[in-house]
Amino acid sequence: MMATETARQENSYQEAFRALQETQSDPHVSWLARLRENAMARFEELGFPSVKDEEWKYTNVAPIARAAFAPRLVAAAAGSSDAEKLASFSVVEAETSQLVFVNGLLRDDLSALTALPREVVALDLSQAIADERYSEIVRRHLAREADYVAHGFIALNTAFISGGAFVYIPQGVVLTTPIHLLFISEGNQTASFPRVLVVAEANCSATLIESYVSTHDDTYFTNAVVEIVLEEGARLEHYKVQRESAEAFHVATTVADLGANSSYDSTAITFGAALSRHDINVTMDHEGAECWVDGLYLVTSTQHTDTHSVIDHRKPHCTSHQLYKGILDGKSRAVFNGKIFVRHDAQKTDAMQTNKNLLLSNEARVDTKPQLEILADDVKCAHGAAVGQIDEDELFYLETRGLHYDLARNLLTYGFAEEVIGKIKIESIRAQLDEAVLNRLNARLEA
């Protein structure tokens, strides 16, 4: 019974896959067709991960395998995305430096890039591949760090690479305007496969916002893969804001490859989706790199969210900081699995990892597993995890200042989230998230 179900689902992806291969058989990009072919073949072998897989022990993706999600291979017609809603998804600081995708496919009519200097490229991925100025760069980096051979979801995403975003910041460019990649999902039962490649050349500096939203409370599946390459001395601030529909499934992989003395500052915010999973893997294979891999997940009702991170220290003198905070209400469930590897050569590594969870209900549950594997001997590493409830002393203190019990609780919860939200340097996102946290808490507090 199980087997036939699974087979049927794979067939439905295969059908769309064949259609994609037929419509996009440009001989100039035969390497891409081959890549997709290999990835699809690999996906057919791997299938979706099961809970028997250690990395998926607490997250059951059988509902994704069972559902009849179908990818859209042609961008929706202009006007089908609610313009008013779109405005509410925009980030003021990036209104003229945004690429808007509907169901994973770029919509030129909703995008605007006038704020970007000419040398900075933010382009549809398939256009970049077809453009001889960029095709070589794309080919060199695409699917190099995101390993489709080992991971089913990455394989499926890779099989459906067509649209997506290519972001290229040339050497030495200091970009003050953030680039916003806005992924909107529309319609029930759609599957979308956002694919992003960011190449930041030596000593450049940029900010990237990646957000996921939906126009309606639809049931759909987002399977995103973001590959980031930072060359020597490059600096990237990266915000991932996941506010999918409460019925959605969101699986995303972020891989970042850090050059010497580069700096990668990532903040992942998770509010949405019935089931979400984020894998973030940072590889530090050159000396002197530094990264921040932070996040906040705030879930309620029966939401399930899972974060798996790998920070791989391979070379000396690299520093990593990680702070993930979780707020769980209702019967929600969260998983945090953070691995830090300090390889043999990675002397003078400084690695710090913290995962703190706040349970607002007795029925919420979190499984947290920070893991540290150290093979070098001259390193400074610390990690810890905590699961707790609202602090009674803090609560009493606020009550003695006249705050009702509920308000005091909400204020403390908000304060807990602030440690992550407060580090966000883009004001409108910070304000939006503050508001979202407070809405979730049914509180009304302004700064």
Partner 1 sequence: MLEIKNLYAGIDGNEILKGINLTVRKGEIHAIMGPNGSGKSTLAKVLSGHPAYQVTKGEVLYEGKSLLEMPPDERAREGVFMAFQYPIEVPGVSNAQFLRLAYNEKRKHLGEEELDPLEFKDLLRERAKVVEMDASFMSRSVNEGFSGGEKKRNEILQMAVLEPRLAILDETDSGLDIDALRIVAGGVNQLHNSENAVILVTHYQRLLDYIVPQFVHVLANGRIAKEGGKELALELEQKGYDWLKTTAPENGVVGAQTN
- Nearest approach in angstroms of CB 437 to partner 1 is 10
- Nearest approach in angstroms of CB 429 to partner 1 is 17
Residue-wise DSSP of 356-369: EEEE-STT-EEEEE
End-to-end CA distance of the chain: 56
- Nearest approach in angstroms of CB 386 to partner 1 is 13
Q: Alpha-carbon distance 46 to 394, whole Å?
A: 49
- Nearest approach in angstroms of CB 306 to partner 1 is 25
- Nearest approach in angstroms of CB 225 to partner 1 is 33
- Nearest approach in angstroms of CB 418 to partner 1 is 3
**Nearer of residues 69 and 416 to partner 1, judged by Cβ:** 416
Half-sphere exposure of 189 (CA within 13 A, CB side): 8
**Nearer of residues 86 and 398 to partner 1, judged by Cβ:** 398
Phi-psi bin for 104: left (phi > 0), alpha (psi -120 to 50), beta?
left
Secondary structure E strands in 170-220: 179-185, 190-192, 195-200, 205-214
Helix pair angle (152-159, 30-46), 10° resolution: 150
Q: Alpha-carbon distance 43 to 7, whole Å?
A: 12
- Nearest approach in angstroms of CB 410 to partner 1 is 10
**Nearer of residues 79 and 402 to partner 1, judged by Cβ:** 402
Residues in the chain: 447
Q: Alpha-carbon distance 127 to 163, whole Å?
A: 8
**Nearer of residues 68 and 447 to partner 1, judged by Cβ:** 447
**Nearer of residues 99 and 417 to partner 1, judged by Cβ:** 417
Residues in the site for partner 1, rule: CB under 8 A?
392-394, 396-405, 407-408, 411-412, 414-419, 422, 445-447
- φ, ψ dihedrals at 161, nearest 5°: -60, 120
- Nearest approach in angstroms of CB 300 to partner 1 is 19
Partners of 270 in the β-ladder: 242, 297
Partners of 250 in the β-ladder: 222, 276
Q: Alpha-carbon distance 350 to 342, whole Å?
A: 9
- Tokens 């549809």 correspond to what residue? 124
- Tokens 């590897």 correspond to what residue? 341
**Nearer of residues 132 and 446 to partner 1, judged by Cβ:** 446
Q: Alpha-carbon distance 353 to 362, whole Å?
A: 26
**Nearer of residues 215 and 357 to partner 1, judged by Cβ:** 357
Q: Alpha-carbon distance 212 to 220, whole Å?
A: 12
**Nearer of residues 132 and 393 to partner 1, judged by Cβ:** 393
**Nearer of residues 28 and 404 to partner 1, judged by Cβ:** 404
CB atoms under 10 Å from CB of 153, counted, come to 24
Structure tokens at 197: 């490649």
- Nearest approach in angstroms of CB 405 to partner 1 is 7
Q: Which residues contact 223 (CB under 8 A, 6 or more apart)?
A: 153, 156, 157, 191, 192, 193, 194, 251, 252
- Nearest approach in angstroms of CB 412 to partner 1 is 7
- Nearest approach in angstroms of CB 2 to partner 1 is 46
Structure tokens at 438: 């407070």
**Nearer of residues 31 and 396 to partner 1, judged by Cβ:** 396
Q: Alpha-carbon distance 145 to 31, whole Å?
A: 17
**Nearer of residues 137 and 360 to partner 1, judged by Cβ:** 360
